[in-house]
Amino acid sequence: MRLLDQFVDPRAVFANLKAAQGLSERTRSALLTPNWDQVQQDLTWFSEPNRHIVTFHDPRYPELLKQITDPPSILFVHGDVSLLSQWQIAVVGSRNPSGSGRDTAFEFAHYLAKGDITITSGMAMGINAAAHQGALAAQGKTIAVIGTGLDLIYPATHRDLAEDITHRGAIVSEFPLGTTPRAENFPRRNRIISGLSLGTVIVEAAIRSGSLITARMALEQGREVFAIPGSIHNPLARGCHQLIREGAKLVETANDILEELGALAGIKIDTDLASAQTVNEDPKVDADYQILFETLGYDPIEIDLLIERCGLTAETVSSMLLLLELQGQVESLPGGRYVRTGNQKPAAKGSQ
């Protein structure tokens, strides 16, 4: 990028390398003698359908990304390249989230994608994957910005997810083919995630977290940062709480984000996409389940204390917790603790 500032375009760079300023001799030598065999291999790979090389001066290069202080000089794209210039919201968070955190990421991404927002994340385990999956489940669009070359899928367990994204979204990298997953690459890719997006949503993040790096980069880029609060007993909520103390916008529903950014992006808020009702709004819910849910809450609680507080027998509580866990409405945690996931209303006693 420094060379482009000096010489305007790449042809001029190569024509004037000997006069270029600010280059080490090693870099100058490497640029004077490129590995043309590797260049040809890259061009052959990108000659296949839906594979694109987008240079900084390419009209397909996203304008929002150009505005950051250190935009990548080139983007490699596998999928729908037009999505780069669509309105995007980044959704990021812990690689090892709680069940409720994973559900929240999925639901927020699903809701936003229904409103024609492209969901951008990093295809990592946990919150990132849930965000991509939520967008895809809504038949929406999603972009994955990765820290390797496009010919490598990392983590390997996301091979199927990556294939879905290339068919209904795009995978993006600034790194050339063959680049392996190195620790220093992932903070670099985070600036692209935030730089492509109108705003960044942090779902769950510890105090020392790559997601907080993304949030700081978003702030430095002049973009909005949204943080979802959590239980004071959840260590993965502390990063979000710190961001809120530092000025990030606290959000409780995806609609909060649309209300904040909708006018800027020209987004029409769909009022039919209502938040799930609470258990108290359904009079048909079995009374025992009502008592259990009210006692359980969203903070982890040990089963013995839960039994004591709700006044039901140990056998009854264990049976109900098992059913609710199978339905995805309750999550069991280490140490014999349980917590509500916030997925759905509890089923009536005896339901299948």
Burial profile 13-52: b = 16 or more Cβ within 10 angstroms, e = fewer: beeebeebeeeeeeeeeeeeeeeeeeeeebeebbeeeebb
For 153-187, write each residue's pLDDT tens digit: 999 999 999 999 999 999 999 999 999 999 999 99
Extents of the domains making up the chain: 81-265, 279-340
Provide mean pLDDT across the span 304-318: 87
| Residue 52 DSSP SS3 | strand
Whole-number mean pLDDT of the chain?
87
Provide mean pLDDT across the span 134-142: 97
Question: For residues 236 and 127, which has the higher predicted lDDT (pLDDT)?
Answer: 127
For 178-219, write each residue's pLDDT tens digit: 999 999 999 999 999 999 999 999 999 988 888 999 999 999
Residue 345 confidence (pLDDT) above 70: no
Structure tokens at 184: 């220093």
The amino acid at residue 140 is G
Work out the pLDDT band at 20, boundaries 50, 70, 90. confident
For 266-291, write each residue's pLDDT tens digit: 665 554 443 433 333 343 347 787 78
Work out the pLDDT band at 343, boundaries 50, 70, 90. low
**Is 3.30.70.260 the CATH number for 279-340?**
no
Provide mean pLDDT across the span 238-242: 94
Residue 348 confidence (pLDDT) above 50: no
> Residue 6 in contact with residue 20, Cβ under 8 Å?
yes
Give the pLDDT of residue 231: 81
What are the two backbone dihedrals, phi and then psi, of residue 144, each rounded to the nearest 5 degrees?
Answer: -110, 120
Provide mean pLDDT across the span 322-349: 72
Peptide bond preceding 155: is omega within 30 degrees of 0, i.e. cis? yes
CATH architecture type of domain 81-265: 3-Layer(aba) Sandwich (3.40)
Instruction: Give dist(CA 84, CA 63) in Å, integer.
Output: 9
List the one residue out of 105, 60, 162 whose CA is nearest residue 342: 105
What are the two backbone dihedrals, phi and then psi, of residue 63, each rounded to the nearest 5 degrees?
Answer: -65, -40
Instruction: Give dist(CA 302, CA 337) in Å, integer.
Output: 4
Instruction: Give dist(CA 234, CA 305) in Å, integer.
Output: 18
The amino acid at residue 127 is I
Please check whether the two domains, 81-265 and 279-340, share a CATH topology.
Answer: no
Read out DSSP for 217-271? Answer: HHHHTT-EEEE----TT-GGGHHHHHHHHTTPEE-SSHHHHHHHHHHHHTPPP-T
Instruction: Give dist(CA 92, CA 18) in Å, integer.
Output: 43
